[in-house]
Structure 1
Amino acid sequence: MLAFSAVPGLAIGLGVSKLLGSLFAGLSIQADRPLRVGEFCQIGENLGFVTKIGLRSLELQALESLVKIPNSLADEATIVNFSRRVRFSSPDPRQGMEVRLQLPADFSPFQLEELLRQTRLLIDDPDRLHGLKAESSLVSLDNDSGDSKTLIVFVLVELHGRPAYLQMRETLLVQLEELLERIELYEITIGDPYYTTSEQLVRVPELLRCAVNTDPCLNCVNCRLLKISACSYDHELEISSTHRLQDDFQESIHRLHQRFIKVLAKTNIEIPFPTQTLFVESPRP
């Protein structure tokens, strides 16, 4: 009987203990003031704007939803206040922003290097980010998503409020998606049929290089006979671009493909068509 009567008391005691823990943690947060309403912070794994600080919990407006964090957990978690990171050097508010993009699994080392290089150029170009210039930035790769890698971009920018934050994030995401689309076209494979003579094969790399370098905004980084496939000798080109606008780059690639066709046609080199063998079941007698 004594054991059973102690159960409700134990449950009540645990509940009161958690409540008191949250209350004391709330008082600690109010006293130490590691964060304030309206500031952009990371609390543990949660990233967003602080919208409310109560005695028992605080609320964080993340990108996807509103997160409610007990003060006891917030008090024990690592708190990164991006709005105060550079307050000592400037009175203007600074907010941190992190963007992660999963990359195609077949990206080559050359494409990864170009992606990192051009992402850093993008971050340093305020004209492409609607006039917003990053005070500091970090661009890196992570392979925590299995076979494919993840592009990580962190920027610290001067922003005023959540609408400006969302606009900046949308602009950055669009620019990064366009950059990914561009990098995918940085490797081009052109096949030459098996009946191509050895003399013609020797000329192919230089012909393709000249076709690329005709455009002042394109550069042929490398051109080599990559492999011998089922129906062709495959040459791979690695190119880079200095185009600022995605539409200009796509138009440039369109003209480049036309030059490839003309150059190969002048030297009597055809682009092979892969064939398919269809197995049809014979009708029964």
Structure 2
Amino acid sequence: MEKGILPQIDQILNQVVLGTPLYKWALAVLIFLLFLFLRKLFTAIIINSIRAVVSRTKTTVDDKLLRVIESPLRFLFVVIGLWVVIDILGIQAEIAQHFIRSMFIILVFWIFYNSVNVFTDDVYKFTQKFGKELAKEVGSFLIKATKSFIVVIAFLAVLQEWGINVTALIASLGIGGLAIALAAKDTAANLFGGLTILADKSLKIGEWVKVGSVEGIVEDLGMRTTKIRTFEKSLVTVPNQYIANNPIENFSRRDVRRIKMTIGIVYDTPGETVKKIVEEIRQMLKEHPGISKEQTMLVFFDKFNDSSLDIFIYTFTNTANWKEYMAIKEDINLKIMEIVERNGSAFAYPSQSIYVEKLPHKLEFIKED
């Protein structure tokens, strides 16, 4: 019976599937699973042991280097496993060789890409040499630019591996290349717009700005766009070219806020009382702790309006904080109300008085037929 089973098993294993005996397919699967197991074993023993050692050292460089190579090393087991599988299956096709070599190219550039991520803090420390106020923005720009460069070079290297002459490809594009260049014109303009923003130091992350109709807090300064979170909590992505070519109102860089108002009091207020109200408001602002004494302060009886005597008030608070500003403005408004009421006057509201010189003794109603 056993003699009958063995030939059957041998016959099954030697059956050809896609040009390769079935036993080679089974061996290839087992080998690949073995490499996956070795990858887990490598992580559990080798990587964890190295992590325990580097965590006890004084420097953080070794910890960062481990983070750089950890994922690529684990992926290396998959690449080698595929390489062995292809060899076992006897696949000599050029496409398989190109595929494996492409995987190794990606592996190498993966290490470079991880290095940028891991050493981000060091990049920010380096950019502080160009000015602490823009260290984050410049650092973010450099990191994104470096990542993009690595991805592009990796892509070109893979194309070269597959026998595509990148230089000849670009040169052969002709009109198509011109079209691509024209399409990339706005991207280039936005890139230089981003560099202009950084050079001018016109805004930075966390500042409250207004550009055109967009007002809010800057959340991110990118190579192509700037993201602004509006006070309605929506995120607006603004092209850097637009920001560079439009006036930027930066509210975060002012240390004071303006109070500008015109109050109207009733017309039957005597002139001496108007003068007294103006003087008391002016004195109140001079003594108020929330008003900046270094900035312009104007309180004057301004004009005779249609239904009121207008007093013009122009001053600045000593804070740019919105909440504190509103509290100071509220207190000033209440004090102005007290001054007006204390002097026996009142605030005017739009009204008209009609004077009739003479009324007829008898009004006749004419009825028309």
TM-score by length of 1: 0.41
Larger-Rg structure: 2
Higher helix share: 2
TM-score by length of 2: 0.33
